[in-house]
Amino acid sequence: MARAATTSDVFNAIAEPQRRQILVLLRSGERPVTELARELGMTQPGASKHLRVLREVGLVRDRKAGKQRLYGLDARGLRPVHEWTGGFERFWSGSFDRLDAYVQDLKQERQEE
Amino acid sequence: MARAATTSDVFNAIAEPQRRQILVLLRSGERPVTELARELGMTQPGASKHLRVLREVGLVRDRKAGKQRLYGLDARGLRPVHEWTGGFERFWSGSFDRLDAYVQDLKQERQEE
DNA sequence: TTGACGCATGCCGATATAGGAATATGATGG
DNA sequence: CCATCATATTCCTATATCGGCATGCGTCAA
């Protein structure tokens, strides 16, 4: 088997640097495909392909606007990623002054995926 | 070109579900390869390969312990991921009652990658 | 030294990319 | 209806996996 399809998993979708750049750009508002392509220095088909992946995992939504198609951010799908990484926060934030909570959380962690 | 090498990017390294599981397990302490493989239902070579990727991006470290090799977590590399996704937090947390900060941040965002 | 054990690596096959080029599809204006 | 602009899709190539299997290598005990 090869790598899991990017199309089915947000973690995979944001593994691509250019797709992350697209998401960052979309934070400041909707944009048509061509403008995204121009701002990121990629071809129009390239932008369309990345946008398709992002759409299929639900991170962007598209809206017809006359001849153009405006892509907008729907970042809710990033929340699980934020929370998953947040589960490791105690390992980089300060020292282990919160060791109590750490030890008490162990049981729960065993059950997370 | 194909997809970027997982070995050079934390985002790619954690795009693999089994690798995420390994990281979760390691939160509760160091473990030898065989135990990880057993707990996650994968083969020993499979576990070794995933651990190699995680080691190359710096998310785990290994330590020789006699015949065994103990792998331990070094989750600092997850911090950039947590912070990057955190940059989208206002899009999922509550409504836009923090619209002021949102608008004021726009200039800075333009410069992020 | 010889096994036995734990782990890493090499090789293979099947698959999923990312990117480029050309083209198809869609919508708009005249 | 036609020409044009904006996007999407298809075809193709090179490459990077992931998983299974066999094997190499280092360490420890007898």
- Regarding predicted confidence, which is higher, A2 or A84? A84
Question: Could you write out the DSSP letters of every residue in A14-35?
Answer: TTSHHHHHHHHHHTT--EEHHH
Measure B6 CA to C20 C1' (Å): 23
Read off the pLDDT of residues B27-67 as tens digits, 9 standing for 90 and up: 999 999 999 999 999 999 999 999 999 999 999 999 999 99
Burial class of residue A60 (count of CB atoms within 10 Å of its CB; 0-12, 13-18, 19+): buried
* Cβ-based contacts of A84 with chain B (< 8 Å): 20
Specify the pLDDT at position A97: 46
- Inter-residue contact A63 to A72 (CB < 8 Å): yes
Measure B107 CA to D16 C1' (Å): 37
- Sheet arrangement for strand B68-73: B31-32, B68-73, B60-65
* Cβ-based contacts of A81 with chain B (< 8 Å): 81, 85
Measure B31 CA to D28 C1' (Å): 19
Specify the pLDDT at position A93: 82
The answer, yes or no, to whether residue A40 has pLDDT greater than 70, is yes
The answer, yes or no, to whether residue A22 has pLDDT greater than 80, is yes
Distance from CA of B25 to the nearest CA of A (A): 7
- Sheet arrangement for strand A31-32: A31-32, A68-73, A60-65
Footprint of strand D on the protein (CB under 7 A): A 1-4, 32-35, 44-45, 47-49, 51-52, 62, 67-70; B 1-7, 12, 15-16, 18, 42-43, 45-46, 49-50, 53, 64, 66-67
Pairing assessment for the beta strands A68-73 and A60-65 based on DSSP bridges: antiparallel
Of B31, B34, B77, B38, give the one whose Cα is nearest residue B54. B77
* Cβ-based contacts of A28 with chain B (< 8 Å): 106, 109-110
Half-sphere exposure of A21 toward its Cβ, with a 13 Å CA cutoff?
14
The answer to which of A20-24, A103-107, B64-68, B88-92 has the lowest mean pLDDT is A103-107
**Cβ separation A84–B20 shorter than 8 A:** yes
Both tokens assigned to B78: 């997850």
Closest to B109 (Cβ–Cβ): which among A6, A24, A76?
A24
The domains located in chain A, with CATH, are 6-76 (1.10.10.10), 78-109 (no CATH)
Distance from CA of A71 to the nearest CA of B (A): 15
Both tokens assigned to B50: 């995933």
Specify the pLDDT at position A100: 44
Read off the pLDDT of residues A67-94 as tens digits, 9 standing for 90 and up: 999 999 999 999 999 999 999 999 988 6
